[in-house]
Amino acid sequence: MNHDSYDDNYIRGILNGVKSIAMVGASPVNVRPSYFAFKYLAQRGYDMIPVNPGHVGKSLLGKPFVASLSDIGRPVDMIDIFRNSSHIMPVVDEALTLSPLPKVIWMQLGARDDAAAERAEAAGLKVVMNRCPKIEYGRLSSEISWMGVNSRTLSSKRAPIPTQGMRLSLNRTSVGGGATTASDRAAKNRSEPT
């Protein structure tokens, strides 16, 4: 798979398909990027599990830290690696010992390990590198556009303002990928003579 660019439908499928996410390298320090990503995803309905051996005995937003993936004790859909590239392979190796296997290995912004990705894909897992699920969720749900950011998401309908417990849909179509009946119809109308 080409990990330099991802189709929006690939990312959307992952974010719509996973329920539980183990965040390796999560931090309880509320100014760290992993804290913001953890909180954001938890507020969107994902079952978040903080993994960090340095914080065992503490909790993050009411979720107790575990020291390693093998300490979780239940199936996990996605492993979100918030570590630098030199620490990815050991995390992927541990993830591949879990039973059942996770569906996805996700490496955060700035993190990339092609050999680890190849190993995970050979075991049947989907892989995303150098992306943030928080940013991708916000972009694909149009939530990010509320801040005046160009999300490349086109819609004539304004996204609803989120309320407590509301999980926004990622089934919006963006310029980067995906097709809709309306866009197909518009393209057809453009090509027909008038």
Q: 83: buried, middle or exposed (CB in 10 Å: 19+, 13-18, 0-12)? A: middle
**pLDDT tens sequence across 102-139:** 999 999 999 999 999 999 999 999 999 999 999 999 88
| Average pLDDT rounded to a whole number, residues 147-167 | 54
User: Which has the minimum average pLDDT: 99-103, 125-129, 151-155?
Assistant: 151-155
Q: 72: buried, middle or exposed (CB in 10 Å: 19+, 13-18, 0-12)? A: middle
| Average pLDDT rounded to a whole number, residues 26-41 | 94
| CATH for 10 | 3.40.50.720
Confidence band of 194 (pLDDT split at 50, 70, 90) = low
Name the one residue in this structure whose structure tokens are 């309306």. Answer: 182
Q: How would you classify the pairing of strands 59-60 and 63-64?
A: antiparallel
Please give the pLDDT value at position 157.
58
CB 77 within 8 A of CB 16: no
How far is it, in rounded angstroms, from Cα 193 to Cα 170? 35
CA angle 56, 57, 60 (to 5 degrees): 80
Strands (E), the chain: 20-24, 47-51, 59-60, 63-64, 78-81, 104-107, 126-128
What range does the domain containing 172 cover? 1-194
How far is it, in rounded angstroms, from Cα 179 to Cα 194? 24
Q: For the chain, what is the domain count?
A: 1
Strands (E), 53-158: 59-60, 63-64, 78-81, 104-107, 126-128
pLDDT above 60: residue 62? yes
